[in-house]
Amino acid sequence: MIPENLKFGGQGGDPASIISICLMLFAGILILVLPKRHVIYAFLLAALLIPYAQVILIGNVHLQMLRFLTMFGMVRLFWEWIIVRKQKPLIGGLQPIDRAFIYFTVVSGITFVLLNQEMAAFTNRVGVLFDTFCIYFLLRFLIRNEEDVTRAIKALVIVACLGAIFMTIEQLAAKNFFGYLGGVPIDPVLREGRIRSQAFFAHALIAGSYGAVMLPLSLWLWLKGGEGKLLAIFCFFSATIMTVTSASSTPIMAYVAGIAAFGFWPLRRHMRWVQWGTVAMLIFLHIIMKGPVWALIDHIDLVGGNSANHRYMLVDQCIRHFWDWWLIGTNDNVNWGWDMWDTCNYYVNTAEGGGFLALLLLFFLIWRVFQGIGKARAAFENDNRKQFMYWCIGAMMFAQCTAYFGIAYFDQAVVAWYALLAIVVALTADYLGVRVPQASTVEVAPPVPVHIPWRKPVEKPAPVTQFQKRIPSRTSS
């Protein structure tokens, strides 16, 4: 059966240490006083480096350090928006990706409450919705243009560099020094004699996936030039180290997916054929294979002792019990097989926790993301460098979607996911929802004659009437 402390998404939590509280307060002060362009560094670094499971318990309410940081960020947002009136929270209003994100989040929250019908579930969803919307729209406020995108990516890369350093130390010393702060274990988890490093993340899978998703951004930084090239080198090695030291198959799959995405660059003008060809190939394999096509998951063995069979069974049982969860989700998945409560697949987790509509909205959100990247890339048809930069963002999102087949974020890594969405919105907002006026509605002003003083105006001959055309010329014979 599912452990009681995980029933409503809680991890129990550890009392926040004095060091973590001091770091949170220091970061909160920086969020309030720093120039707006530097606030993104303070928020992302503190939000991702402080373990999520460190909480301050007030009554029945768990207040993670992330929630306090979010409150500081919202104070800064309202100060800039209402008091100072310098900037609106969202330039251009809600974008298509924003709307898709709102639909998915709201529907997931409503179905969760309807499914459990307990006050604890309602309280949990209120906290989740508060965190989700505040963090997402705070990041949308802080990431507004390409310069802000560069700063956000730099902050994410700094987190990756620190993660790579501490995950390497974890391999050498067999100790996770973040465990002394609380929220993560001091002694690392072993699998087949290998240490699964996790640093400040709640699980090695999440740590490795974070690093793997950062890999395509190293090329984006390299194309930015200047100091971005040095940071790109750090990003590449940090992503590789985090992926390898996590000793997990899911990060390796995401890492490979990010690299494979660049292999389709020559086919960038024919991606629709690639997409439909992939669908056709999966259907063909499903017909000729002895088992279902998703049984291919069971054959992925990149790291010894991996749980490929468990992930295959998650997908298989989810499909077989479609009518159990399609409306608002289900809690009976714990009885579908051994360890089926551990939905370490974001798509399965969404389906079983929110129903078919929530799953469709998740796919709709992902489609909106790639649609925006595709339109923005197509706008620079004559600029290969700019196109390739957008392709890097698409490869990053492809790696993230691949990682979701093996993990569902349940710690501070969700901040990185929201940051990636905000980055995509900032880079693509100018190319979505732009209406081109039709030719019939465009009023063209008559040309204004230009008088050149040193030229004699040319006298145009009078138009010939139909009557004049009938009179033969005197010179004709």
Of the pLDDT bands very low, low, confident and very high (cuts 50, 70, 90), residue 60 is: low
Which single residue is written with the structure tokens 């039709």?
438
Of the pLDDT bands very low, low, confident and very high (cuts 50, 70, 90), residue 13 is: low
Of the pLDDT bands very low, low, confident and very high (cuts 50, 70, 90), residue 195 is: very high
Please return the burial class of 93, using the count of CB atoms within 10 Å of its CB with bins 0-12, 13-18 and 19+. Answer: exposed
Which is more confident, 20 or 433?
20
DSSP 190: E
Residue 417 has pLDDT above 60, yes or no: yes
Mean pLDDT of the 59-71 span: 85
Of the pLDDT bands very low, low, confident and very high (cuts 50, 70, 90), residue 473 is: very low
Of the pLDDT bands very low, low, confident and very high (cuts 50, 70, 90), residue 120 is: confident
- Express as a percent the part of the chain with pLDDT over 90: 69
Residues paired with 55 in a beta bridge = 15, 64
Is residue 466 in some structural domain? no
Is residue 252 in some structural domain? yes
Is residue 442 in some structural domain? no
Of the pLDDT bands very low, low, confident and very high (cuts 50, 70, 90), residue 339 is: confident
**Average pLDDT of the chain, as a whole number:** 87
Of the pLDDT bands very low, low, confident and very high (cuts 50, 70, 90), residue 433 is: low
Q: What pLDDT does residue 90 have?
A: 79
CB contact at 8 A, 421 and 149: no
Centre a 10 Å sphere on the Cβ of residue 98 and count the other Cβ atoms it contains: 20
Q: What pLDDT does residue 468 have?
A: 47
Residue 454 has pLDDT above 80, yes or no: no
Overall number of domains in the chain: 1
Is residue 465 in some structural domain? no
Helix, strand, coil shares of the chain as percentages rounded to 5? 65, 5, 30
* Span 357-366, pLDDT tens digits: 999 999 999 9
Residue 120 phi, psi dihedral angles, 5° rounding:
-65, -35
Q: What pLDDT does residue 44 have?
A: 97
Mean pLDDT of the 270-281 span: 93
How far apart (Å, rounded) are the C-alpha atoms in residues 48 and 152? 13
Lowest mean per-residue pLDDT among 87-91, 335-339, 380-384, 439-443: 439-443
What end-to-end distance do the CA atoms of the chain give, in Å? Answer: 111
Which is more confident, 31 or 62?
31
70-79 core/surface letters (b: 16 or more CB in 10 A; e: else):
bebbbebbee
Q: What pLDDT does residue 83 have?
A: 76
* Span 152-170, pLDDT tens digits: 999 999 999 999 999 999 9
- Three-state DSSP at 14 gives strand
Of the pLDDT bands very low, low, confident and very high (cuts 50, 70, 90), residue 124 is: confident
How far apart (Å, rounded) are the C-alpha atoms in residues 448 and 436? 26
280-311 core/surface letters (b: 16 or more CB in 10 A; e: else):
eeeeeeeeeeeeeebeebbebeebeebbbebb
Lowest mean per-residue pLDDT among 79-88, 118-127, 367-376, 395-404: 79-88
Give the CA count within 13 Å in the CB-facing half-sphere of 111: 25
Is residue 54 in some structural domain? yes
Is residue 445 in some structural domain? no
Q: For residue 299, give its domain range.
A: 8-431
Of the pLDDT bands very low, low, confident and very high (cuts 50, 70, 90), residue 318 is: very high
Q: What pLDDT does residue 12 have?
A: 53
Q: What pLDDT does residue 30 have?
A: 96
Is residue 454 in some structural domain? no
Lowest mean per-residue pLDDT among 271-275, 301-305, 326-330, 443-447: 443-447
Q: What pLDDT does residue 129 have?
A: 94
Of the pLDDT bands very low, low, confident and very high (cuts 50, 70, 90), residue 381 is: confident
**Structure token pair of residue 223:** 């194309």
* Cα–Cα–Cα angle for 274, 95, 235, rounded to 5 degrees: 60
- Three-state DSSP at 195 gives strand
Q: What pLDDT does residue 7 have?
A: 52
Of the pLDDT bands very low, low, confident and very high (cuts 50, 70, 90), residue 305 is: low
Of the pLDDT bands very low, low, confident and very high (cuts 50, 70, 90), residue 183 is: confident
Is residue 467 in some structural domain? no
Mean pLDDT of the 415-422 span: 96
How far apart (Å, rounded) are the C-alpha atoms in residues 297 and 302? 11
Which H or E element spans position 194?
strand 194-196
What is the 3-state secondary structure of 27-95? HHHHHHHCCHHHHHHHHHHHHHHCCCCEEEEECCEEEEHHHHHHHHHHHHHHHHHHHCCCCCCCCCCCC
Of the pLDDT bands very low, low, confident and very high (cuts 50, 70, 90), residue 437 is: very low
Residue 126 has pLDDT above 50, yes or no: yes
